[in-house]
Amino acid sequence: MLSTAAGHESIGSVSNVIITVQGQTVNYYLNIPPALFSLMDEMLAAGDPVMLREYFSMTLTMSTWDVPCELNKMYPIAPQSSGNRIIHAIYQCQKEVKDLTITSNLFFDIDDKHMQFIKLAPPQNPRQVLKEGILTLGKQVFHIADVKTGGSVLMQRAYRFFILGIEHILTGYDHILFILSAILVAVRFIETLKMVTSFTVAHSITLILAFSGIISLPSRIVEPFIAFTIVYVAFENVFMKNFRRRWMITSVFGLIHGLGFVGVLKEITVSRQELLTSLFSFNIGIEAGQLLIVGTCVLFLYYIRNRSWRPILIRWLSICIGILGLVWFFERALAVDLIRIF
């Protein structure tokens, strides 16, 4: 299980799958990045065909016409120059495959937040995508109604990355705390709007640049810095009186948060043709989740706006957020879990 300190790794490890179908044969190509490979059981990681076959038999099933297909052959793990590993499994079905249902529990036993990006491709052109989806612990079934056409790939991709963006912001607790601590002191709606807009524009810029490979910073630098942004803004709420320029701070810190948003996408195989749709949909999903968070907070602040205890509440909320941010900062900077230590 991953520590809560790793806010942008909360989605977990990632693997990629390409499936091709020809007649009664299904080829399953599993691409495992180094981060996930390091979590695998030693005997399984050694590439023992018997172990691989046993593991796949327990965690992966394929069926067509509601009839299960048989795992016919397993190839040993093939190392790649990139550090990734490829597993090739061949399934044989009793009839010619027209539809295909894949139920996967792969790797959820070692990482319950694992995500598997799965694509159907024609056998003559594995780079072409006919249908794609994302498998998680809560959604382990990938169904293809027609293996020859797949359906509307563009809409599928846009929807999947939109949902992924929403999940990322709602499970990115450091993002949520930063946004909340930033707008806690806003007295007027226009101030909240300026803060949120500046943060959105800033993180969108670095998200695009980082996802495109134009800029890159290691997570060991980005993650502690994101925690620091929470600490700074939270304690500024306590010690500062004038917040007219808060939108400038959220803009600068938003650039750092954008690098954190892109972390979940680094392991995903995305071609140049898929880049624009995936990135745009993911960012829209982030903004949708962010609006939900901000809207809830604004309603709460509006409800307590005339309460005599409002300043005290905001002060202590800021102190608590700042302390939690400090814990995350030291955990990420020192690579330790302080909560477990104490």
Q: Which of 90, 119, 151 is the last residue of a domain?
A: 151
Are 104 and 241 found together in one domain?
Answer: no
Beta bridge partners of 307: none
Which of 23-32, 187-196, 228-237, 274-283 shows the lowest per-residue confidence on average (mean pLDDT)? 274-283
Are 134 and 194 found together in one domain?
Answer: no
Are 127 and 67 found together in one domain?
Answer: yes
Q: What is the pLDDT of residue 270?
A: 55
- The pair of structure tokens assigned to 5 is 């300190």
Reply yes or no on whether the pLDDT at 49 is more than 60: yes
Confidence category of residue 10, pLDDT binned at 50, 70, 90: very low
Residue 1 in any domain: the answer is no
Q: What is the pLDDT of residue 2?
A: 37
Range of the domain at 290: 165-341
Name the H helices within the chain.
34-37, 42-45, 49-59, 153-171, 173-183, 189-211, 219-239, 246-261, 272-303, 310-334, 338-341
Are 181 and 240 found together in one domain?
Answer: yes
Contacts 24+ apart (CB under 8 A), 271-280: 271/127, 274/129, 274/157, 275/211, 275/212, 277/154, 277/157, 277/158, 277/161, 278/157, 278/161, 279/161, 279/207, 279/208, 279/211, 279/212, 280/158
Residue 156 in any domain: the answer is no
Confidence category of residue 11, pLDDT binned at 50, 70, 90: low
- 203, 282 in Cβ contact below 8 A? no
Residue 93 in any domain: the answer is yes
Are 191 and 259 found together in one domain?
Answer: yes
Q: Residue 220 and residue 84: Cα distance in Å, rounded?
A: 21
Q: What is the pLDDT of residue 102?
A: 94
Reply yes or no on whether the pLDDT at 271 is more than 60: no
Question: What pTM was estimated for this model as a whole?
Answer: 0.66
Q: What is the pLDDT of residue 251?
A: 93
Residue 157 in any domain: the answer is no
- What's the structural domain count of the chain? 2
The more confidently predicted of residues 303 and 45 is 303
Reply yes or no on whether the pLDDT at 47 is more than 60: yes
Q: What is the pLDDT of residue 267?
A: 57
Look up residue 236 and give its amino acid: E
> How many residues are there in the chain?
342
Reply yes or no on whether the pLDDT at 1 is more than 50: no
Q: Residue 240 and residue 185: Cα distance in Å, rounded?
A: 10
Q: Which of 95, 126, 151 is the last residue of a domain?
A: 151
Q: Residue 115 and residue 267: Cα distance in Å, rounded?
A: 10
- CA-CA-CA-CA dihedral for 44, 47, 48, 51, to nearest 10: 30
Q: What is the pLDDT of residue 4?
A: 46
